[in-house]
Every structure is written in structure tokens, then in C-alpha cells.
Amino acid sequence: MAGVVHSIDELVGHTPLMELDRFERQQHCGAHILAKLEFFNPTGSVKDRAALAMIQAAEQSGALKPGGTIVEQTSGNTGIGLAAFAAARDYRMEIFLERGASLERRLILQAYGARLLDYKDAIGLRPEAERSHPWQEPEREATLAEIAAYCRRTGAYFNNQAANPANPEAHFRTTGPEIWQDAGGNVDVLVCMAGTGGTGSGTARYLRSRNPGLRVVLVQPHPDSRLTPEHPDVQIIDGVLPAYGVPEEELSEYLTPDWSDEYINVRTAEAYATAHDVLHTEGLFLGTSAAAALHAAVQVGQRAEYAGKSIAVILPDNGMKYLSTPMYQQTL
């Protein structure tokens, strides 16, 4: 039957590219802001692209076998994507959840049947009966080395999005070409957030192959909006990490400054304000990282040299997973 899909895999990608005409005028922005609406993916985020590609690559290589267990460290969206595709393939899913993940993300992961773990599970100190409620913050996050050791002990497949080449490759093959085609080959600037760096680096690599003069702006959380030992309770832009001003040894393989031309720091409060502005001008209901990326895109678009230019901005997800956070609680 024409138009009927037969797998969740077929729902990934081909998301809309929307020019934010009303929002541009409200923000006195002379550039064209082209928003890549990634919440149209099946589990509601850009991470579905990489999640599917990483599972398919592991299946093709034989690293992931039928009935196997997939393990990932994530702030939520990558884990949700992996959990969805795992459920459709009868894999088990185990998640080491990063600090700051919203309640909604935790509940969605549980609904997919994922098992939520923390560092005590990784180092074998806590029996199942003593595990605390999965929506509580972990005492600390498990390190990649601890997770890798856990997978060796249990025979699980460690997906490791931070160093998995299928992550940026998914965006080189899909996200970049979609933006270029839908924009009619007219993209002057790419604005994006970075978690592992896979989305931005892969998309930028493709767009630069078509427009060598492309300018890439990496959006990162302002120092005031990062979890630190001194500020453990600060409101963060979850799932987003800085690449500039960070010791090289702390960066993941794809989260490096070399694929971008500049960076813009965004405070969580600025992301919240932008989320409410675009909600009431375009009717778009954005997540925190998407709103932060849009806030930065406006700053670029207000520069005189970009008047009339086209700025593509990747909006990773919508606000449905953030209703329990201060971004939307204040409107209730």
C-alpha cells in the first residue's frame, strides 16, 4: 500500500526546515533563520538519527547480536532513541543517565523498558534490591572507563556515542543533505549545540563540502549555567557541553573546537526567555537546548554583515520532555 511504513526506522529523518518569519521580525533580525525541526523524528529528537545509525552499524559489524544488551551513557535523548529501536528489535537496554536529565526523560526510558543504572552499578557495589528510585539524581556519574569495564563483565555492547563513528556519519549522510536540499543550496551559517559533537560535526562537514565558505557557530552553555562542584544545583541546558575553554583531555572525540569557527555562550535563563518568545510568535514549543541554539542564531542574525543571509539552526527537540523543569513550570 503506497505511503504506508512498516518500521519505526522509516520514520527517522526528512524533518521540516521552517523559516521563522514572525520571530525574525520580533527579534529585529535581518537574516533568514531556517529552523531544522528535529522533534519530528519518531521519539522526538535529533538523536534518533544517530541512535538508528549506531545500532545498524553494530548489527552489521556483528558487535550486537540478537537478544543482546545495549549500554549507553546519555542525558536522555540518545538513550530514548536507542531504547525505541532496541524495543523494536528485542534488545535489552541499560542506561547510565547523566545528571540533570528531566523527569520526563527518565519516565520515557522506563516506559521503553530501559534499566537505569549509576556508577555503583558500574563498579559492582550495589545490589538490585538497594537501588534508589530512578528519578533521583545519582551521587556521581559513571566514567566511560567504568562503563566499559561493566560491559566487559556483563557481555553487553557499549554503544559509546561519544566515540562512535556512526554518530557524526549519520548527520553527514542525512541532516546535512536535507538542510542543503530544503534551503535550495542557500546556507551561509550553521548554528548548533553540541553534546557529543556528532550532530554538529557531521552536519558541518557535509554543508562545508557544498559551501566551503560556510560559517559554523557552536553554541555552548555559559559558565554560569554549568554544573560544577561549587554550583551543584544550577539550572543547566541539559545534554549540552562546552568545547571552547575546556581542557582537551575532557573533550569527547567529536566535541572539539576545530569544526566550528566561533562559539556563543548562552545562559539557561536566556534559553528560557527565547523559548517563550518563539512559543508566542511561531507556536513552536521548544526544549532548552533548542531554545539556546535559537537564541544564538538570533545574535548572529542581528549582525549587519548577515543581513539577507540564511542561517540554518538545528533545534534538537521540543518542550514535551521539559514540562517538569523551571522553563515551563513558571507558566503553570
Known catalytic residues? 47, 289
Give the total residue count for the chain. 332
Residue 139 has a CB neighbour count (10 Å cut-off) of 10
> Distance between CA atoms of 28 and 153, rounded to whole angstroms?
57
> Is residue 8 within 8 Å of 85, Cβ to Cβ?
yes
Instruction: Report the C-alpha gap between 46 and 293 in whole angstroms.
Output: 13
Q: Which residue has the cell 551513557?
A: 73
Asked if residue 116 lies in contact with residue 95, where contact means CB atoms within 8 angstroms, the answer is yes
Q: In what order do the strands lie in the sheet with 215-221?
A: 17-19, 32-37, 310-315, 189-193, 215-221, 262-266
List, as one string, the DSSP characters of 71-131.
EEEESSHHHHHHHHHHHHHT-EEEEEEPTT--HHHHHHHHHTTPEEE-HHHHTT---GGGP
* Cell numbers that stand for 181 in this block: 536540499
Q: How many helices (H) and strands (E) does the chain have?
A: 12, 10
- DSSP state for residue 171 in the 8-state scheme: I
For residues 240 and 255, the answer to whether their CB atoms sit within 8 Å is: no
User: Which DSSP category does 40 fall into?
Assistant: G
* C-alpha distance across the termini of the chain, in Å: 44
Residue with cell 514540562: 323
Output the nine-digit C-alpha cell for 71: 549500554
Angle between helices 77-89 and 47-61 (to 10 degrees): 50
Indicate if the alpha-carbon torsion angle 308, 180, 172, 12 is positive or negative: positive
